[in-house]
Amino acid sequence: MSVVTKLRSPVKPMAESRAILCSTGNRFRPSKTEIAKKKPQQHPKPTKSPAPDSSVTSNFTASTDDSSSSSSSSERSSVKTTNSGRINTPTKKKRNGVTKLNNVVAVAAVKDISPEIPGPDKRCHWITPNSDPIYVLFHDEEWGVPVRDDKKLFELLVFSQALAEFSWPSLLHKRDAFRKLFEDFDPSAIAQFTEKKLLSLKVNGCLVLSEQKLRAIVDSAKSVLKVKQEFGSFSNYCWRFVNHKPLRNCYRYGRQVPVKSPKAEYISKDMMQRGFRCVGPTVVYSFLQVSGIVNDHLTGCFRYQECDVETEKQLRTPETVTELELHSP
């Protein structure tokens, strides 16, 4: 019993308050009586922080790069210093996943860094960035331009016939060879080709066309001479189907452009009756497109309006005016 009594002896009260472990560390916590005895102290009114020392500003400016952009300079001007010597940077706001600095205008800087570069002229849909340059040049300067020269029209008719076996880029690369072999597409000279001359064309490298096509070219040249006797020129014969004015098709997309038309079918039948060969509706429609008798440039293509301007210039020439007066109803 005596042992237990000794263990349960009362603990003597401490004369001083002990330190308590707070969230901010070991600090002395005074008792309530001591807090009540203390009088409330009057805190001085906050005063404006003095302006930063010029030496601090100069050191900060000297440490920056001389070639900094306008956005970095505006950001540097917004930096503030406190009495404790710390530098407060401008707060950042995040909006739609993009961090943006307050009081910093970055739009002008972006425009200066990446200016808008004008793109190329818009062309028809079948002209792509991977197209052959010679084909692009042909589209920009020749395709769809009204042609009224007999030799040029006959050349385009022969090329339209050859499209059944080859494409425009391959034909354009061989155009000079074609002109040399076919006497610069003079119908009067081609009409005199003999059987020996046709065989020589095959031997000399004109295997790009079949023998049937070669014979069709000679027969078509003879038909051109007959047409010239009746209508005065091959140009008058071709343009009379459209009243000597190009047809303007307002196609917006490449899929809308047909491979033949009722007008092409009618012209095809008339040409076959006059002795032309290999002049089906598809061949005739390709011939109408490339010769400018039909303007099939897409409405969004820059050549659509330019071909019309060139047509108006041709219609004002004395020769064209005379033709229109002779064939007008």
Please report, in range form, the residues annotated as the binding site for Zn(2+): 124, 139, 297, 301
| Buried-state track 304-322, b at ≥16 Cβ within 10 A, e below 16 | beebbebbeebeeeeebee
Which 8-state DSSP code applies to residue 16? S
| Structure tokens belonging to residue 180 | 């040399």
3-state secondary structure of 220: helix
How far is 180 from 271, CA to CA, in rounded Å?
26
- Under 8 Å between Cβ of 148 and 320: yes
The residue behind tokens 């009224």 is 148
Taking the CA atoms of the chain, what radius of gyration do you get in angstroms? 46
How far is 139 from 243, CA to CA, in rounded Å?
25
How far is 154 from 160, CA to CA, in rounded Å?
10
Which 8-state DSSP code applies to residue 185? G
3-state secondary structure of 322: helix
How far is 148 from 33, CA to CA, in rounded Å?
117
Q: What residues form the annotated binding site?
A: 124, 139, 297, 301
Phi and psi at 20, nearest 5°, equal -115, 140
- Under 8 Å between Cβ of 150 and 184: no
Element (H, E) at 253: none
| Structure tokens belonging to residue 117 | 């570069």
Pair type for strands 19-22 and 294-295: unpaired
